[in-house]
Amino acid sequence: MGGKNAFGRAIIEEHLDLCLEAGLNVEGINAEVAAGQWEFQIFAKGAKRAGDEIWLGRYLLERTAEKYGYAIEWHPKPLGDTDWNGSGMHANFSNAAMRDSGDEAVFHKICDEFGKNIERHISVYGADNHQRLTGKHETQSIDEFSYGVSDRGASIRIPVGTVEDGWKGRLEDRRPASNADPYKVAAAIVKTCKEAEA
């Protein structure tokens, strides 16, 4: 907090208000690791709805920043080869089995299926994402796959809340970049989840 650490707060707070007024389901905002790096979280049921809301949220952010004389940088490693975290678009997702079964094996089976399809996902998870997914700065390497409970350095993080709720809940794919197309990300996730159910 403080003006020497949190740059752009007026932009992100105005953006939040605009998103809520527009009916977007923004569930939170927070400052991230790098100076001027912010996150907003959108929750929407259904892949298409989530994609629609993310694109609208991005548009509103661009327009809000423009009003203040700033431009938004969507590059996944905006500060280049530095010791700062990159920018991601973490994708939280669930299906009926994950929400209702209460079976740890369901989560492991889905994660294992994601591990079999690294290229399918990475190919649509954003341009220049190799600069961000290095195995450093809370990422897994782009050509490797891992998952774990509360593991911020894994490809997929299993939230503690999912475990505490008796293995009912969601997963978080931490690999999508901030510049990724949310429709393509969602399509890859849906396809892999369906293959895990087969």
Sequence-distant (≥ 6) Cβ neighbours of residue 105 within 8 angstroms:
none
Domains in the chain with CATH codes:
1-72 (3.30.70), 84-198 (3.30.590.10)
CA angle 134, 83, 158 (to 5 degrees): 50
Whether the CB-CB separation of 139 and 94 falls below 8 Å is answered with no
Provide the token pair at 110: 């889905």
pTM above 0.85, yes or no: yes
pLDDT of the chain, 198 residues: tens digit per residue: 677 777 899 999 999 999 999 999 999 999 988 888 999 999 998 899 999 999 999 999 999 999 999 999 999 999 888 888 999 999 999 999 999 999 999 999 999 999 999 999 999 999 999 999 999 999 999 999 999 999 999 999 999 999 999 999 999 999 999 999 999 999 999 999 999 998
Q: Which of 181, 151, 170 is nearest to 95 (CA)?
A: 170
